[in-house]
Chain A
């Protein structure tokens, strides 16, 4: 046993060599992330600048505009410049943090995004922590006793909730617990993030925001936790056939200890990567939930932009959402390498 676990001198040396590979590894992942971001910019540019038949028409939709005015707007928007020049201006502005000017809010997109970032992070962060905790716990228990009644209930519940449109679940919870049906009284506020009639600071504000957070957060958790259940359950089942668990059992450890100290830490690896990737997806998942609950975050901003449609604002939120996914994927790669020696050895 000891010869297997205690690292011999050769192994230590090997690890030392691997550790020095860390910088090139991080470098290559960073370059890949930057390339991805550049591609995002290209796609965003193509969608929003090249595809609309005439942005000027969209902009002045429904308003009588003279030819001279149209021409002036074209010059202002730089539409008569060559494509590559417009693209370079666009990339340069984005790198400077200038995401354009919202038609609808008459405000810079960057400042709008900055205003709405906090509420989205609060909603997503809470939802992520709760759904990860719930999902991993259910996944571990289901996988460990797969085929049991607990597993069947947990698996079918998560499969069912996964098949539900998030916004629909949101509306159902809204009708049930905010409007109230039959004997159920109105328990939570219907929308927004805070009651404007209450003071906007101190404990009352915190409690008020928490009350507003319950329903949108619950909606996201109910839909998202299913993914963690599935991933965690699968990796626990994968680990269960491993000989090291047999060794642990042979040492006389209880079933509980084998699960907690041996199986779970190993099975967590794939889930950790998944979690980071899902965090990126969660950002965009917030769009419909925020729309249903008028939660003043990035998702609701996107929803408001869609109604016009406010193309610069949509372009800005698209870039922000994409950037967050790219950053999360990068973090997933880095964390995975720190956690899993098998990846380091490659």
Chain B
């Protein structure tokens, strides 16, 4: 019985060797390393932000800077309508924007993997109907669906997160289903079945570990689109109006007339921050894809 659960190890190279080989192959991709560097830099900045940014610099009532001023001494990126430093806002915004992106991705991945695993494992009526549901969701336009969902759920980070997850799980589900079918065709699954492993055991202990690397790759790309979606939904006014995210900065700039005032210093930084983080996740995702799938080389 116990032998069955460890069956895959007998067929494959030990996992830590594979991981070392993966790291060496990844290190040869400059674009992937650059993406990783960008992400690490932003991650560190977001984590240490509370050490040097306090409520006095973020609270609209407590700040005393010049209002909507271009870059001057002490405010290297200028200020917003309330006199807050745009630089500090962008750094603070990284916390919320990244966490919404990552939490939404986690939800997406859990939902998508569950549907994909079930659809791949139960290939009869259950699997087919699950795939039908997936196809229907693919046919729905994601932005209007997300807008509708968060409009009904009410303003706030939670409803935006849910809306992103509900509209983006389909890609993961399809991927996981395809991979589940491939894994279940391998002999060790047959062996586990013969030895009496149940459906849950096969899915969780045998299929999931083999599908996991693929899920992780696809999730780096999902984070990129989740961050873009967060910015878009917040810009449309669906976010929490009191929190500072890159999307809410742009929304405040737009609603507060920064565009007509020509306040480019207020508009550029949040957008460039989004660009850098999305590009970072995309580059990392593509590099990992290249390493794991040699057929992609040259593209």
Q: Which A residues fall within an 8 A CB radius of B?
A: 35-36, 39-40, 43-44, 47-48, 51-52, 146-147, 159-160, 162-169, 171-172, 174-176, 179-181, 190, 233-234, 237, 280-281, 283-285, 287-288, 291-292, 302-303, 306-307, 309, 311, 314-315, 317-318, 321-322, 324-326, 329
Contacts and interface: CB of A to CB of B under 8 A. Distances in A.
Contacts of B140: 40, 43, 322, 325
A314 B53 CA distance: 39
Contact of B260 (A164, A165, A179): A179
Interface string B248-270: 00100110000111111001101
B274 A165 contact: yes
B153 A147 contact: no
Contacts of B268: 172
Contacts of B262: 175, 179-181
Interface string B37-65: 00000000000000000000000000000
A317 B236 CA distance: 15
A35 B140 CA distance: 12
Given A287-B147, A314-B147, 7 more contacts: A36-B136, A39-B139, A47-B148, A167-B254, A181-B264, A234-B299, A306-B236
Nearest to B278: A163
Contacts of B264: 172, 175-176, 181
Interface string B199-241: 0000000000000000000000000100010011001111000
B195 interface: no
A281 B152 contact: no
Contacts of B145: 43, 318, 322
Nearest to B229: A165
Interface centre among B145, B152, B224, B254 (most CB of A within 10 A): B152
B274 A168 contact: yes
Contact of A237 (B136, B139, B143, B299): B299
Contacts of B274: 163-165, 168
A168 B250 contact: yes
Contact of A167 (B232, B261, B275, B282): B232
24 contacts: A40-B136, A40-B139, A44-B148, A47-B149, A162-B282, A168-B270, A171-B250, A172-B267, A172-B268, A175-B262, A175-B264, A179-B259, A234-B299, A237-B298, A280-B141, A288-B232, A288-B235, A288-B236, A306-B151, A314-B147, A321-B144, A322-B145, A325-B141, A326-B139
A281 B225 CA distance: 15
B36 to A, nearest CB: 16
Given A48-B148, A168-B271, A292 B278 contact: no
Contact of A163 (B151, B224, B261): B224
Contact of A160 (B142, B253, B279): B279
Contact of B152 (A163, A285, A291, A311): A311
B141 A147 contact: no
Contacts of A164: 271, 274-275, 278
Contact of A171 (B135, B152, B254, B279): B254
A159 B279 contact: yes
Interface string B159-172: 00000000000000
Interface of B: 135-136, 139-145, 147-149, 151-153, 224, 228, 231-232, 235-238, 247, 250, 253-254, 259-264, 267-268, 270-271, 274-275, 278-279, 282, 298-299
A284 B271 contact: no
Contact of B279 (A163, A285, A292, A314): A163
B299 A171 contact: no
B140 to A, nearest CB: 6
A190 B135 CA distance: 40
A306 B153 contact: no
B144 A311 contact: no
Nearest to A167: B235
Contacts of B250: 165, 167-168, 171
A175 B282 contact: no
A167 B232 CA distance: 7
B148 A314 contact: yes
Given A306-B236, A317-B144, A318-B148, A171 B260 contact: no
Contacts of A166: 232
A281 B141 contact: yes
Which 4 A-B pairs have CB atoms at the shortest separation, nearest pair first?
Answer: A168-B271, A163-B278, A321-B144, A284-B143
A291 B278 CA distance: 23
Contacts of B282: 159, 162-163
A321 B141 contact: yes
A65 B13 CA distance: 71
Contact of A165 (B144, B151, B153, B231): B231
Contacts of A237: 298-299
Contacts of A234: 299
Contacts of B254: 167, 171, 292
B279 A284 contact: no
A286 to B, nearest CB: 10
Contacts of A176: 264
B252 to A, nearest CB: 12
B293 to A, nearest CB: 13
B151 to A, nearest CB: 5
A59 to B, nearest CB: 13
Contacts of A160: 275, 279
A17 B271 CA distance: 56
Contacts of B149: 47
A166 B253 CA distance: 15
A169 B259 CA distance: 12
